[in-house]
Amino acid sequence: MRGGAQSHLIETADGSLYVVKFTNNPQHPRIVINEWVTSAVLRQLGISTPSTAIVNFSTGFIRKNPEVHVELGSGRRIAACGSHFGSRFAGGSSGVIYDQLPNDALASVVNLSDFCGVLVVDKWLGNTDYRQAVFVRVPGVGSSGSLLAQMIDNGQVFDGGNWRFEDSPLRGLYAGQVYQHVRGLEDFEPWLTAIAAFPEAVLREALQQLPASWRGGETEAAFTTLLGQLMKRRGCVRSLIHACRSQPTNPFPNWFA
């Protein structure tokens, strides 16, 4: 799969397809924790995102599948045995999935407002990447030509493996024209209000659900420190959203003061 973490599309024992990021990916071991925690936040807020799972690689699986590796400048790195992060493949068994849409096709997306919700999340969690999403057709959702946006690839929240907050007005924005309906901060509700009162327990529970191998060493203590900073940031998300307005890209062209 595309991306710096070099994810792989893996079929699990039950026949499901998952986009899997390895714990020993080229970016940082914390990337998989970032993915897991962000997925928990998105689910709590009702923002569309693929379901997640811990995907385990046995020694036998690695031996039989040498193509499950990442490329490094110095050569190949085989995926480690043990637990990795899996995001359910949004295309399902049909494999029909779009990772980008022309702007004139965005009107067919039934949950376009989720891009406002996920921008609130990205600003709060300090995503240093641009927002990524995929678009799929879901039976029973909207008309026959309707598409559902699902938010993916959250490894660079908390500034990736650095676990710090490096805010910039450009970061976290989606490149397409998904904010045309935005007239003001009220269009980022109910997510702004939800973030302002986001329960710390949800994040702590997400951490406790992680495999013990992901939480070893100083990781748990470092995450506790990060969590304290995150709780303090809940009140500054509105100003971070507002700061995006001054960008040359003009992401909110219809915002009225």
pLDDT of residue 39: 98
With a cut of 70, say whether residue 153 has pLDDT above it: yes
Nearest to 201 by CA among 192, 212, 209: 209
pLDDT of residue 112: 97
Q: Span 132-146, mean pLDDT?
A: 82
pLDDT of residue 169: 94
Q: Token pair 């811990």 is at which residue?
A: 54
Alpha-carbon distance of 162 to 172, in angstroms, equals 17
With a cut of 70, say whether residue 157 has pLDDT above it: yes
49 lies in some domain: yes
77 lies in some domain: yes
59 lies in some domain: yes
pLDDT of residue 181: 95
Q: What residues make up the domain containing 30?
A: 8-246
257 lies in some domain: no
3 lies in some domain: no
pLDDT of residue 115: 98
Q: Span 226-237, mean pLDDT?
A: 97
pLDDT of residue 95: 58
Looking at the 3D structure of the chain, how many domains does it have? 1
With a cut of 90, say whether residue 145 has pLDDT above it: no
CB 134 within 8 A of CB 97: yes
pLDDT in tens, 2-47: 889 999 999 999 999 999 999 999 999 999 999 999 999 999 999 9
158 lies in some domain: yes
Alpha-carbon distance of 59 to 29, in angstroms, equals 20
25 lies in some domain: yes
pLDDT of residue 93: 56
151 lies in some domain: yes
Q: How confident is the model at residue 226 (pLDDT cuts 50, 70, 90)?
A: very high
pLDDT in tens, 187-223: 999 999 999 999 999 999 999 999 999 988 889 999 9
Amino acid at 110: V
pLDDT of residue 92: 66
Token pair listed for 225: 């420190």
pLDDT in tens, 71-122: 998 889 999 999 999 999 988 655 579 999 999 999 999 999 999 999 999 9
Q: How confident is the model at residue 138 (pLDDT cuts 50, 70, 90)?
A: confident
Alpha-carbon distance of 4 to 100, in angstroms, equals 18
